[in-house]
A and B are shown apart, each in its own frame.
Chain A
């Protein structure tokens, strides 16, 4: 079992109001799965993503990632887990604007003490995986949206994480480019990567094998969509 959450809660206090963003979510995801988390805005999917991505700690409940109980970890321990186990892909790419594609991809390796030579080797390899080896020295503003997202994907892959976590990865791309990126996710999945995509679009969610529908902080239903893909949609 790669991911196991047990009755996960996240509660915020805004002024005098208490918001239960995630209310008792229990999910299990196996290694090598391709899962989508879907829901309208305000459904708590971002909060759930932050919890699964170890950017945030739950108020209550347990979260096990790759055999480790991460729900009770300190900030620095979470940072270590993020570095080692999780590759993030964001809607807005979140690349360092003044750094080259290569340097952007190298970044996670800096924080686990990989030597400079090894970093460059691994970063080049990751850029090759996303077919961007000829754009290594370009800065993000010299790249198209699709290329930027591929750099972000290379960055997510470079540390060989247990999980790739994508938050609306096609949200800032046109339909054709979005489809390209989703094809790339599909390929990475076939190569053995575990992928979780958070989205509000069903068109995107059905690229996954399984969809969790989230509403008001709870998993409303769970759907296996492999048959749709296999039928050639």
Chain B
């Protein structure tokens, strides 16, 4: 064993020595491996960064929130869209929300929400000569704060009496507050929202940015007031908070049963609505990145394969060139396996070095992309380990044939080789 380890150390030294004496050739040889590994590391870094932002974003929707929608959430790839059956489905309404609140014991709070887009350029929100940058306008109930984990940091939130009296009050997101009131206290001020006068009663807590985009460009008004001004469709977006994290399934079941009843779904038919959680959104997102990973693995496998063939080629040249050296080594007592390992380790050192350069290059790429785009790149340990061991394995695999050829050389013939 000791002898074997000594060989390993010496072989790596010898391999380094050979590489240094053929810098350019070695570099060109490992380019394929380098590119393959760099692609893996860089892409993984970016996708992982995206994952982190996405996870943070989905979590910021509120911990343990159940969503109720007319449709299953889905990823639109190309055309297709919703089926006829789906488009004819009944809306989820404010009354559904009230029924859930009243009849589902596992539910703590229900937040029906509606959002408005003013044609043609978005919502116009003004205070004197100042104007906000087309904020999102939401009609909400007091439970919105609990369900979406979005409380007033200044002033107050929408209250039950606001709902009852359809008051013209609003709660601003931080961006809107800063745009309209850079130097003043917004509470109590009168602003214009799509030419309706509203009194500012609160400013909401700041939400973290997502992919570089601020999540604070919005204002919220009482649900009833919203309905009075923008009497559009009955459809609402429903977010539900269960009483406890453990109760999330019970709540989901209760909501499903209740809605089936209210919507008159026959017992032998599928739900004509969807009840889902942020875990579900997370899973859906993961299935998309899964495809991205698959594509990446295919691309880098091809690069590594090409790199491996290059390594094999160069190793064969190297064996021929060094026939005499092999003869000398054999004459001095090198056994077949010594020669075999020398060339295998040389091939692995080559590709391993390519792997390390690829890791550095890929990491730099990830960090660069992270720096110039809103994506935050995360270099994960496992991708580094996988990248390195893969590149070494390529060397081992494609080194076997040349190394076997070297090991089999006859010492007398090899010594005579010119």
Report A's interface with B, CB cutoff 8 A. Answer: 50, 53, 55-56, 75-76, 79-80, 82-84, 88, 90, 94-96, 98-99, 107-108, 110-116, 155, 159
Contacts and interface: CB of A to CB of B under 8 A. Distances in A.
Contact of A83 (B6, B327, B333): B333
Contact of A56 (B3, B17, B412): B412
Contact of B2 (A84, A113, A155): A113
Given A55-B411, A55-B412, A111 B328 contact: no
Given A50-B412, A159-B333, 12 more contacts: A55-B331, A84-B333, A94-B327, A96-B325, A99-B17, A107-B328, A107-B332, A108-B332, A110-B10, A113-B6, A114-B6, A116-B6
Nearest to B331: A88
25 contacts: A50-B412, A53-B331, A55-B411, A75-B335, A75-B336, A76-B335, A76-B336, A76-B337, A79-B336, A82-B333, A83-B332, A83-B333, A88-B331, A88-B332, A94-B327, A98-B21, A108-B333, A110-B6, A111-B333, A111-B335, A112-B333, A113-B7, A114-B6, A115-B6, A116-B9
Nearest to A47: B412
Interface in B1-30: 2-3, 6-7, 9-10, 17, 21
Contacts of A112: 3, 333
Given A111-B338, A113-B6, A94 B415 contact: yes
Nearest to A113: B3
Interface centre among B3, B328, B336, by most A CB within 10 Å? B328
Nearest to B338: A111
A130 to B, nearest CB: 17
Contacts of B329: 107, 111
B58 interface: no
Contact of B333 (A56, A80, A96, A99): A80
B330 interface: yes
Contacts of A114: 6
B25 to A, nearest CB: 14
A137 B54 CA distance: 60
B334 interface: yes
B324 interface: yes
A94 B21 contact: no
Interface in B310-348: 324-325, 327-338
A111 B3 CA distance: 8
Nearest to B330: A79
Interface residues of B, number: 25
Contacts of A82: 330-333
Q: Which 8 A-B pairs have the closest CB atoms?
A: A83-B333, A113-B3, A111-B333, A108-B332, A79-B335, A76-B335, A94-B328, A82-B333
Nearest to B334: A111
B337 to A, nearest CB: 8
A94 B331 contact: yes
Contact of A96 (B3, B10, B328): B328
A94 B338 CA distance: 19
B404 to A, nearest CB: 14
Nearest to B407: A75
A107 to B, nearest CB: 5
A46 to B, nearest CB: 9
Nearest to A114: B6
A53 B412 CA distance: 11
A111 B14 CA distance: 13
Nearest to B17: A98
B119 to A, nearest CB: 77
A114 B6 CA distance: 8
A112 B2 CA distance: 11
A80 B333 CA distance: 6
A94 B327 CA distance: 9
Nearest to B21: A98
A129 B7 CA distance: 27
Interface centre among B331, B411, B412, by most A CB within 10 Å? B331
Contacts of A56: 412
A94 B337 CA distance: 22
Contacts of B336: 75-76, 79
Contacts of B334: 79, 111
A111 B412 contact: no
A94 B324 contact: yes
A167 B332 CA distance: 15
Contacts of A99: 17
A96 B332 CA distance: 12
Contacts of A83: 332-333
Contacts of A98: 17, 21
A112 B4 CA distance: 10
A94 B330 CA distance: 12
A113 B11 CA distance: 12
A159 B411 CA distance: 20
A99 B13 CA distance: 12
Given A55-B411, A94-B324, A107-B329, A80 B335 contact: yes
A56 B327 CA distance: 13
A75 B331 CA distance: 11
Nearest to A88: B331
Nearest to B5: A113
A88 B9 CA distance: 26
A95 B328 CA distance: 8
A92 B3 CA distance: 30
Interface in B343-380: none
B86 to A, nearest CB: 73
A148 to B, nearest CB: 13
A90 B411 CA distance: 13
Contacts of A50: 412
Interface centre among A108, A110, A114, by most B CB within 10 Å? A110
Given A96-B325, A111-B338, A155 B6 contact: no
